[in-house]
Structure 1
Amino acid sequence: MKRKRRERNHNNILLHGSNDFCIGLNRVLWRKRHRIFSFVSGCLILLFFAVSVFCPPPTANNHFLPLHSLMRTVESNFDAVFQVPGTGGNLDHDLWSSRRSKFFYGCSNASEMFQTADVKTHPNRYLLISTSGGLNQQRTGIVDSVVAAYILNATLVIPKLDQRSYWKDSSGFAEIFNVDRFISSLSRDVRIVKALPLVGGKPWIPRRMSLPRKCNEKCYLNRVLPVLIKKNAVELRKFDYRLSNRLEIDLQKLRCRVNYHALTFTDPILNMGRLLVERMKMKTKHFIALHLRFEPDMLAFTGCDYGGGEKERKELGAIRKRWKTLHSSNPAKMRRQGRCPLTPEEIGLMLRALGFGSDVHIYVASGEVYGGEERLAPLKALFPNYHSKETIATEEELAPFSKFSGRMAALDYIVCDGSDVFVSNNNGNMARMLAGRRRYFGHKPTIRPNAKKLYKLFLARNNMTWDEFATQVKAFQIGFMGAPKEVKPGRGEFHENPRSCICEAGGTETIKKQTPVDYNANENNIRDATEGTDEQETAEDDPDWTDAEYLDNNTKELPDTDNNASNKHEQPEVEMLFSD
């Protein structure tokens, strides 16, 4: 009995011992597993962190995908699908006309208070101007020179065109514009002559002066008139945007009479331009004209990133070094501020989102395109009916114009003006001048990309459906389509928004006779289509390719013989490079 009890106790001791051993072993194994699990988890966290830091987000890589990739279905992390349709979709309005445009028309007749040239012009008082920039910037100078002559009670000498800058066109005024029509059409407003008269059989040498930008009437009377009275003849150098946007109504209407009625191209240019429009109309009932600025020099100047990677940065960076006074580039900031021209692909996507299908014919006015056919391929895939001067006219037909950039630009101007819809990837001078003209003659649709808003949309497009993208584009473009009254009075350049010269069909002018300070006091319910453009416009010390003044082009300055002390404190003039 005692023996059996001892055996049971011994077995119990062995059982407890084995249990303790198993528990201890499990604890050891659990600790080891825990350490291994912690180690593996830590490695995974470090790996995830490294991937997130060194790999760009999907949208950054996909933003500049070629169109053949874009046209495929693209799956995002959010399971959304971005697929570009071939058609424009169902629309609730006519793409080819502006709403309510029939209720507005251009009106630029002078009031009864406007003095005629024979009453106010002083004898022996002559104003000369020399323009600068491309054809359309020179056009602004020509228009404003007539108003300046009227303010000074002076005779205007036919303006001298810029033959030295980037565009290198030797054409004179009479080779691009109809001189006789210019003089006769304005004979009641300003006396105009083709050349300075001789004094004692010798040429009259004018006093050369320069003016600050956006000079108002008082500025001309204080700065120029005393010199003009003393010297009888004054030449204003680099005359672009040297007249204020805000003038009294009769002077604004004079601007419109010059720009939209008196200043016309020569017959050869007009005839060829009209022929190009006719050929586009033979191909299709309606067509779009696109003014595409994408030259390498211009892109380098902007300092923007156009998705070409390291190769693009090296090539454009080398070009940018030509201008030593440029600030270091900040591509992200430039794009945020809407100061980067849209790429051909972005323009194509915007047009498709607005409702233009692949069957639409498009006329493209452009110079050299950086990246060539590869860069244009996405736009051509979206709009296969792609035309230009060179495709709808023969080499022989273009021969009289092809060696002169100003005359070729004039042909593009005529076709763009004759288009049913005009769009530009930039806000340069041609886009501005055409926008004003198309408003004056019936508010034909004129699309200006809202680049400040659209840039975010282009970056995020692969994380949304096409319908979401198109809806956003349409919303952002409200107020940027050339419709009546979409811009508040007094906003933007007058040549782009000539509100003083737009009347309503009922006979009531949209702008009453008011002083310039009253311009922004009414119509608060009108969408400010220049929303955000104040940031887009460039400050005087931060040059922009759309602005009126650019960097030195290694051309010698004419000596400034104006001894006005106020001019000595201004920044030195710089040569216009890329103004169109």
Structure 2
Amino acid sequence: MKVTTKRKKREFNDDNKMFFAGVRYRLLLFIHLRHRLLPLASVSSACLLVLVFATYCLISPPGILHNPQLRHYVSFDNGLEMESKFDVETVFRVPERGGNPDHDLWSSSQSKFYFGCSKASDKFQIANEKTQPNRYLLIVTSGGLNQQRTGITDAVVVAYILNATLIVPKLDQNSYWKDSSNFDQIFDVEWFISFLSKEVKIVKELPAKAGKVTIPSMRVPRKCNVKCYLNRVLPVLNKRHVLQLSKFDYRLSNRLDKDLQKLRCRVNYHALKFTDPIREMGKKLVERMRMKTNHFIALHLRFEPDMLAFSGCYYGGGEKERMELGEIRKRWKTLRKPNPDKGRRHGRCPLSPEEIGLVLRALGYGSDVHLYVASGEIYGGEETLAPLKALFPNFHTKETIATQEELAPFITFSSRMAALDFIVCDESDVFVTNNNGNMARMLAGRRRYFGHKPTVRPNAKKLYKLFLNRNNMTWDEFSSSVRTYQIGFMGEPNEWKPGMGEFHENPSSCICEDSEAMASKIPALHQQTHDGHRKGTKNMIQGIVGANGEHGFENEKKDYVGSTKDSGDSTEELASEDEQEWFDTDYAEDLIILPGKDVSHETYLDGNLSGKTDHPEVEEFFSD
């Protein structure tokens, strides 16, 4: 009896599908032949068909929207799959729910075994012991907020290497980002100076006597190591006593001894604290997201027209896209001829909003998840965002959760607006990015240091092939492949070997293993004392960040110290500078080197960095 009932129900459903498929086909056929029909018949038939079609639409949930590049499939959230007579490709159904993954989507199961550690060793000299009274170092940063942050961090380390007094760094006010903010309008300058007072002497401006001399300006090569600074920069500093280093971004090697790496971490994760107005507004934004949901994802979405034009990538918009982006691309005279396919194959093209949405759904995040999006102008506007919003209707930005009056003090300053997004992304339960820019890198490293919070970095090389062939597979096949390809790109401990990538995104020297917690997981570790391993104790530094923490939130960021094992054991990072190139260079840097010019061993005093144009927008374009 039950079998008969099920068979009848299945036959009824099949009849319904055939009926509605026939209605849709007739509607398409009517449109195609509308000019051959009599006017009166056309009007009557149109009214009838529209009425029937409207009734069907009311009882059938809408499918996911797609941009021109991604229109390869039809999707209905209720699982109904239909194949048009005009499109016989495999149907690719995107479910409304995220599924049931075999792990917690909002935390890392391994994070409790590791923690950030940046305490200096006993052999680390303090400022009073080593700073020379007649050496002053000035730094001019480059790019947007996060690129400048790398420069500020490295400037402190360089001042320590040169035994010099550091003048509070000057921010870039002339690049693409056009932000007139000074250091003390972005960062708490008093905290910066006092926190680092034992490591490096820092003053707000040159002493009057030192300021009377003409200040020489110098640009050092990228990835300049300790020997490079001592051999090339120190002689000039000794002779002139005051020296300015310009365009100071990524001018310090990844390969430093452990104490210098830990100094980097103390600067980046503790000394650089945003000003009170920025932290207070950032706190409001986070609280408003928490009022909406217990967990939320923050997405850093770079899809501006200028960025896409600069990258040379193609997103399926046809001749219109090629012409629009091609015209913008003419701004940079030295760019190579674009090769979109090669860029995609090498993982250098940012994922589109829909692609990043599909990745999140494949990883298990359903349509009920709240999404905070940090972005600038999106190429294609709402049409480009529509698929992402269809996948995640709970779509928020700082503009939607804050009033115009609240944002007024920040809205005309790109770095201050970026700082607000930085805070929300840092505090999110899951951070995801569609690009490999500096904000993505800085947040990836920061989230590792403060507890390995889930951080999704798309494996663009592998995902490219998957997106290319997705119309030939089912959703289950697609989602399974995404989860496989993303292993090693989710912010878990030990995903990368020490030294891989920029130090700011993989601060391995500042990540320690909690031996006590690890021993409780693996009892055998108790027996390994003959190898020199000792049970470690994890202690919190009280007062190292202060009552306000990094952003002034109630949940303070803590720095841990103790006799624990560093996850990056070697004082020399394992990967060479050349091996890191794919990970640590911005797209801009790869595109503007002039053919046949080797600039890796050149230092320029009072001049430009040979081999690169000095267009203000080029080097900084991908800085955030």
TM class by shorter chain equals 0.7 to 0.9
Alpha-carbon distance in 2 for matches of 1:544, 1:253: 28
1:417 aligns with 2:460: no
Distance 1:130 1:238 in 2: 6
Of 136, 158, 161, the residue aligned with 1:151 is: 161
Contact 1:165–1:577 (8 Å) recurs in 2: yes
Structure 2 CA distance for partners of 1:386 and 1:336, relative to 1, 3 Å = same
The equivalent of 2:385 in structure 1 is: 376
Q: Displacement, 1:549? A: 8.8
Percentage of identical aligned residues: 68
- The match for 1:226 among 230, 235, 245 is 235
Map of 1:264 onto structure 2: 273
SS at match of 1:402: coil
| Residue identity in the other structure for 1:544 | Y
> 2:248 pairs with 236, 239, 242, which one?
239
Aligned residue number for residue 296 of structure 1: 305
Alpha-carbon distance change, 465 to 245 in structure 1, aligned in 2, over 3 angstroms: same
Q: Name the amino acid aligned to 2:336.
A: H
How far residue 512 of structure 1 moved from its aligned partner, in angstroms, is: 5.7
Question: Unaligned 5+ residue runs, structure 1?
Answer: 1-59, 522-529, 553-559
1:478: which partner in 2? 487
Match of 2:316 in 1: 307
Give the distance between the partners of 1:487 and 1:105, measured in 2 at CA. 16
Residues 1:345 and 1:206: Cα distance change in structure 2 (over 3 Å): same
SS of structure 2 residue aligned to 1:128: strand
Which amino acid counterpart does residue 70 of structure 2 have in structure 1? Answer: F
Which of 563, 572, 588 is 1:516 aligned to?
Answer: 572
Partner of 1:118: 128
Q: Note the 1:536-547 alignment, pairs <5 A.
A: 544-545=587-588, 547=589
Letter in 1 for 2:495: E
Q: Partners of 2:363 and 2:378 in 1: how far apart?
A: 24
Question: Aligned equivalents of 1:536 and 1:502: distance in 2?
Answer: 20
Stretch of structure 1 that moved more, 242-251 or 91-100 = 91-100
Q: Distance in 2 between matches of 1:184 and 1:407?
A: 23
2:500–2:583 Cα contact (<8 Å) kept = no
Alpha-carbon deviation of 1:140? 0.2
Corresponding residue SS for 1:365: strand
Distance 1:61 1:196, change over 3 A: closer
Q: 1:184 aligns with which of 194, 198, 219?
A: 194
The separation in 1 between residues aligned to 2:273 and 2:114, in whole angstroms, is 23
Distance 1:190 1:89 in 2: 52
- What is the alpha-carbon distance in structure 1 between the residues aligned to residue 109 and residue 365 of structure 2? 17
Instruction: Tell me the residue number matched to 2:498.
Output: 489
Which consecutive segments of 4 or more residues in structure 1 shift more than 4 A?
60-63, 66-72, 74-80, 532-538, 547-552, 560-565, 567-574
Q: Which residue of 2 aligns with 1:459?
A: 468
Q: Counterparts in 2 of 1:387-406, with a 5 A limit?
A: 387-406=396-415
Q: Secondary structure at the match of 2:173?
A: coil
**Counterpart Cα distance in 1 of 2:209 and 2:512:** 46
Q: How many residues align?
A: 497
- Asked whether the equivalents of residues 98 and 483 of structure 1 are also in contact (C-alpha less than 8 Å), the reply is yes
Where 2:147 maps in the other structure, the secondary structure is helix
Shift of 1:203: 3.4
Q: Distance in 2 between matches of 1:61 and 1:396?
A: 35
2:148 partner amino acid: Q
Q: Deviation of residue 513 (structure 1)?
A: 5.3
Deviations 1:488-527 (A, max 9, x none): 111000000000001111233234653416x359xxxxxx
Deviations 1:372-416 (A, max 9, x none): 000000000000000000000000000000010000000000000
Kept in 2, the 8 Å contact 1:323–1:551? The answer is no
CA contact (8 A) 1:63 1:458 kept: no
Cα deviation, residue 69, structure 1 = 6.4
Unaligned runs of at least 5 residues, structure 2: 1-65, 516-535, 537-563, 595-601
Report the CA distance shift for 1:534/1:189 in structure 2 as closer, same or farther (over 3 A). Answer: closer
Asked whether the 8 Å contact 1:549–1:574 carries over to 2, the reply is: no
Distance (Å, rounded) in 2 between the aligned partners of 1:544 and 1:568: 18
Determine if contact 2:73/2:92 at 8 Å carries over to the other structure: no
When residues 568 and 404 of structure 1 are mapped into structure 2, their CA distance, relative to the original with a 3 A threshold, is closer
SS of the residue corresponding to residue 565 of structure 2 reads coil
Counterpart selection for 1:198 from 208, 211, 223: 208
Q: Distance in 1 between matches of 2:334 and 2:354?
A: 32
Name the SS for the 1:256 alignment partner.
helix
Task: Tell me whether 1:94 sits opposite 2:104 in the alignment.
Answer: yes
Match of 1:54 in 2: none
Counterpart in the other structure of 1:336: 345
What TM-score do you get using the length of structure 2 for normalisation? 0.75
Q: Which has the larger radius of gyration?
A: 1
8 Å contact from structure 1 (residues 240, 548) kept in 2: no
Task: Give the RMSD, CA atoms, in angstroms.
Answer: 2.7
Q: CA deviation at 1:299?
A: 0.4
The change in CA–CA distance for 1:73 and 1:455 in structure 2 (over 3 A counts) is farther
